[in-house]
Amino acid sequence: MVGRFASWAYLGIALLFIFLPVLVLIQFSFQGGMAPVPPFDGPSLRWWAKVMANRKITDGLWNSLLVGLGSAFMATVLGFLAAYAMARKRRRLSGLYQFLLMAPITVSYLIIGMGLQIFFNHLGIGKSLWVIGIGHVVINLPLTFAILYSQLGEHQANIERAAYDLGASDARVVLEITVPMLWPSLLAAFFIAATLSWDEFVIAFLLSRFDVTLPVVIWSMLRSGLSPELNAAGTLVFGISILAVALVELLLWRARRNRA
Amino acid sequence: MTDRVEFRSVTKEYDGNVVVAPLDLSIAAGEFVVLLGPSGSGKTTLLNMIGGFASPSSGRVLIDGQDFTDLPPARRPTATVFQDYALFPHMSLAANVAFGLRMQGMAKPARLAKAEAMLELVGLKGFGKRGVHQLSGGQRQRVALARAMAVEPKVLLLDEPLGALDLALRRQMQEELVRLQKRSGATFVHVTHDQEEAMSIADRIVVVNKGRIEDMGPPDRVYLKPATLFAATFMGESNVLAGRVAAVSSGEIQVETPLGALVVPGSALLASDVHLVLRPEQLQLTPPANGFALGQARVEELSFQGTHCRCHCHMSGQDLVLRAPVSAGLKTGATVTLHAARDDVVVLKA
Ligand SMILES: Nc1ncnc2c1ncn2[C@@H]1O[C@H](COP(=O)(O)OP(=O)(O)OP(=O)(O)O)[C@@H](O)[C@H]1O
Ligand SMILES: [Mg+2]
């Protein structure tokens, strides 16, 4: 009985430790006064209205969405193609390819960002949202590849074999069997990549100049001190992330159920 | 008439390991052939070479006299029922069954009607709109069967299709397979390592071991007169007496065995080593017509099996298994005289 209570208490404290800062951040985005510090004198939507009217923030929001969705789409497509090739067409060097595909996961974002900056500089390509998107594809490809590769097992191969056996061509098997069969995992990979791109700061900071993403906007606003407006912007970032994560959980849960 | 399927000196190697030794096999149209063998004997490999999922290292695979060795599965008049069913999880049952027809370009109303008819044939009438996840294992197996048969293959390949089902369901599905096969007239090539299943469904059993055909023929022949020691021991239980031929006369040989000299019908070279094989139910407690006595045995162990008693006996250093009628009332430790009919003894070269 006591042990049970203790374990619940422990869980409660752990969750509080993780979420209290976030909850405070959210609460003070509804602050009435000028400073995001107690006492709380809200709730008021005044800072939210200010955020929504702030061109820098709304532009950053759109840029982030654009980069997040675009780079996640590319990372998912490329990750799927790589996973499909690795899982279905065994070649002699596939171990090496797999290592090279997964390698970026061990490199820090700072190094990747610097590398890309130098590389694009050499090519004479200026900093832009495109370049940030490419950076995010680089960091997310190992993840989408790993997720999709794990879903292309022997059972799925047998299902594809059944389709070939019934007269389907390569293209039809991929489009009508493999992709629909992996649909939940593809969406999950997409949303994980989109979430990571959405609140990624280092690469976005290093590779942006005029068009910047939301985390970079927030960072530049932070330099001029705290304000409940920043809390509202942060809450926005957090809320959209949570939404995407919930979607991923739902999709993965469905994928697991379908496999059973 | 040409054979439906023909293996011509086919071999298969994986990285230098010979999985199928040079092998010839002909399967007639409309035949129900069962490939029977232990795990790793090459059954799946043989099936895959008919279906196009594996290509022989050498030799040819012919279907209806035409060389299909190098054609992919999609271009072969074969269809496969996989052990794990391999149903398309994102499609309804009707769409699953109609998939092959859609690939052939059949119009939607026609293929849905056909799918419905196929589902009815396997006892799943009205299930067309359901999803794969709402089915039991036995039902999935039926859908897999309907899906493969919908394209009207000349040859249906079944790789241990009943392996995952419980015993009662397996028996029922065995009967249904035979019924479907007779009805469709298609050639069935069925892989199993269950010898009872093989005997109950096959027109012809092909006993495979280490990539070779040990024996093939109708189930009763393979069971009663196996061609090799492996076939004798794999197809049910056998008592094997090792011996040496001591005398040969026309149609009869005398064999020195641990149980003494036995005269049995057959032919063999003088002084060659042979095995004498007798099934447990062929050892009898009363002298049969045209039989002989093997000698006195001591009953070591008895187990009641309902229809009979399974009995382990010991005789001159040889262990024997027999099926005694329950009415014989055997007791452990008793001494019995064992007999066998002459014609039951199978003589195999060692
Ligand atoms: N793709 C492969 N690569 C290497 N070896 C293989 C491959 N497929 C099969 N083998 C080998 O070939 C042999 C025969 O395999 P096969 O699958 O035909 O046996 P099987 O009779 O179907 O056995 P089971 O009853 O266990 O299914 C085995 O020793 C197996 O290890
Ligand atoms: Mg097998």
Summarised one tens digit per residue, pLDDT across range A113-157 is 888 888 888 887 877 888 889 999 999 999 999 999 988 988 899
> What pLDDT does A93 receive?
78
Residue where a domain terminates, one of B233, B249, B270: B233
Q: Are residues B176 and B288 in the same domain?
A: no
Residues 171-200 of A with CB under 8 A from B: 172, 177, 180-181, 183
Q: Give the residue extent of every domain in chain A.
A: 47-259
Question: For position B281, which CATH number holds?
Answer: 2.40.50.140
Three-class SS of B232-282: HHHCCCCEEEEEEEEEEECCEEEEEECCEEEEEECCCCCCCEEEEEECHHH
Q: How far is B33 from chain A, CA to nearest CA, in Å? A: 20
> What pLDDT does A235 receive?
87
**Chain B contacts of A164, Cβ < 8 Å?**
72-74
Q: CATH classification of A47-259, choosing from 3.40.50.300, 3.40.190.10, 1.10.3720.10, 3.40.50.1000?
A: 1.10.3720.10
Q: Are residues B205 and B137 in the same domain?
A: yes
Q: Are residues B12 and B63 in the same domain?
A: yes
Q: Are residues B229 and B256 in the same domain?
A: no
> What pLDDT does A122 receive?
87
Residue where a domain terminates, one of B233, B260, B280: B233
**Ligand 1 atom 31, closest CA:** B40
Contact B349, B274 (CB under 8 A): yes
Query: A162 and chain B: CB distance < 8 Å anywhere?
Result: yes
Cβ–ligand 1 distance for B4 under 6 Å, the answer no
Q: Are residues B242 and B131 in the same domain?
A: no
Distance CA B290, CA B11 (A): 46
Distance CA B27, CA B187 (A): 8
Q: Is A167 left (phi over 0), alpha (psi -120 to 50) or beta?
A: left
Q: Give the count of domains, chain B.
A: 2
Residue B161 pLDDT class (50, 70, 90 cuts): confident
> What pLDDT does B1 receive?
58
The pTM (predicted TM-score) of the whole model is 0.81
Q: Is B276's pLDDT higher than 80?
A: yes
Q: Are residues B116 and B178 in the same domain?
A: yes
Q: Is A259's pLDDT higher than 60?
A: no
Over residues B146-161, the mean pLDDT reads 92
Q: How far is A28 from chain B, CA to nearest CA, in Å? A: 46
Q: ipTM exceeding 0.85?
A: no
Question: For position B39, which CATH number holds?
Answer: 3.40.50.300
Q: Are residues B249 and B179 in the same domain?
A: no
Report the relative pairing of strands B252-257 and B239-249 from DSSP bridges. Answer: antiparallel
Q: Are residues B223 and B344 in the same domain?
A: no
What is the per-residue pLDDT across B21-47, written as a single tens digit (0 to 9) for each? Answer: 999 999 999 999 999 999 999 999 999
**Strand order through the sheet with B239-249:** B260-265, B252-257, B239-249, B273-278, B346-349
Q: Tokens 């190094």 label which residue?
A: A111
> What pLDDT does B19 receive?
93
Q: What percent of chain B has pLDDT over 70?
A: 99
Q: Are residues B280 and B167 in the same domain?
A: no
| CB-proximal residues (5 Å) to ion ligand 2 | B 44
Q: Are residues B196 and B215 in the same domain?
A: yes
Q: Are residues B45 and B175 in the same domain?
A: yes
H helices of B66-201, in order, are 93-103, 108-121, 137-150, 167-184, 195-201
* Structural domain harbouring B279: 237-349
